[in-house]
Amino acid sequence: MKEIGHWINGKHVKGTSGRFADVFNPATGEVQAKVALATKAELDAATADAAAAQVKWGATNPQRRARVMMEFVRLLNRDMDKLAEALSSEHGKTIPDAKGDIQRGLEVMEFCIGAPHLLKGEFTDSAGPGIDMYSMRQPIGVAAGITPFNFPAMIPMWKMGPALACGNAFILKPSERDPSVPLMLAELMQEAGLPDGVLQVINGDKEAVDAILDSPIIAGIGFVGSTPIAEYIYGRGCSNGKRVQCFGGAKNHMIIMPDADMDQAADALVGAGYGAAGERCMAISVAVPVGDATADALIEKLIPRIEKLKVGPYTAGNDVDYGPVVTAAAKANILKLVESGVAQGAKLVVDGRNFKLQGYEDGFFVGPHLFDHVTRDMDIYRKEIFGPVLSTVRAKTYEEALAYAMDHEYGNGTAIFTRDGDTARDFAARVNVGMIGINVPIPVPLAYHTFGGWKKSAFGDLNQHGPDAFRFYTRTKTITSRWPSGIKEGASLNFKPMD
């Protein structure tokens, strides 16, 4: 049985705790590896080493740090196929989707190449007689990232790229469900020229997470995962005096206006609702057609598209639409929520409960589901399902449709499909959600903008990637300087305001 350890001080290290978690092949249900779970002592030792390595790295010219990012991007492109294969084998994503995962992380690394410009401070000449003022952006020291299973390449790069480019050391605690790709990223960082110890990858469970939260050395923490854990990490991390950003759950609505192109809307919903088996925080899980005629037309378009979806292992070829979910527990939870939808009165238009894949009966595959006549009191509407389940909530008017998105406790992403610019503009201005798509189903911003939700989808005041990331991973120091030509009048004992 393959044993996966940690990446500490530039090399692979076996765990010492004696505790392991199973790493499954989601397509077959078989255990393919065991990953070591770190102790607090292991985490603390790795953090201390990172702090020692950070001193020299933080003093390195920002342009030289950017060159490491540049070389890392080249190596990522070189090893794209190898990384995608490893990602798919542990997560279950199709190969094209795995490459997309890597690509969206790579784009953030490309943005980080511009670190010398992004780290520039501000300067005011002659703020007073002979007085200049300027600010400096300096690294916070050691930062940590606690990242989820659903994007084992992208989210680690979203976190570590800006942190490292800013001159910090970084402790990465990836998901124990698919740990291989984060370790491969660390190898590539070393090959790109990152000094040993500046990036540590520690696999673990709650013990490692709590050690990060309580570490007196770690100054900042980024997290992506479920809202209950986001709230826990944010509260405990902040109470320990750390800078914390946490991104939690989602329930993303897509409003379909009567004037929308129904074929375009249906295609968008299928891609956004069922891609990656729905295991995306930006997945569209709620369709909100306005008017019964719109809803009927939309359902008519959706049914044949959903029934044609090809579900299978990534090894079956690139025409597979989506693969298995990550664990048996995830599958059981999805099917439990589907049953609750039926029991609570929703109409199951496409029923994937009996889906079986010949030869992969023990895999974690979930067939596609489509509900109609869902109401806001149902569990399938209130809760994040994180599976291939699309719920249709019928709204009588635009205002009612807008209220669905605005009243939900989550506020990660939303979209509207319409041909009317005034409606789209009103929607974008009023809706209390962090990322908006107008005729775009998954409104994930590009790397040079920031990513972040509102309400219970995010905790903290700075978003991921883009300019916000460089603000999060640095502290601003402001200097007021005066270089007198000579002492003419003697010392001044009173506070003198600037002229």
Instruction: Name 290's bridge partners.
Output: 395
Tokens (6 digits) for 278: 């729905």
> What's 194's DSSP letter?
P
Contact between 366 and 336 under an 8 Å Cβ cutoff? The reply is no
Out of 112, 166, 246, 281, pick the active-site residue: 281
Strand order in the sheet with 199-201: 11-13, 6-8, 199-201, 169-173, 142-146, 218-224, 243-247, 458-459
Active site residue 166: no
Nearest to 368 by CA among 427, 311, 290: 311
Contact between 133 and 123 under an 8 Å Cβ cutoff? The reply is yes
Nearest to 94 by CA among 32, 368, 102, 4: 102
Tokens (6 digits) for 317: 């070829």
Contact between 417 and 187 under an 8 Å Cβ cutoff? The reply is no
Strand order in the sheet with 30-36: 2-4, 30-36, 20-25
How many Å apart are CA 103 and CA 100, to the nearest integer?
5
How many Å apart are CA 182 and CA 161, to the nearest integer?
13
Q: Which residues are catalytic?
A: 281
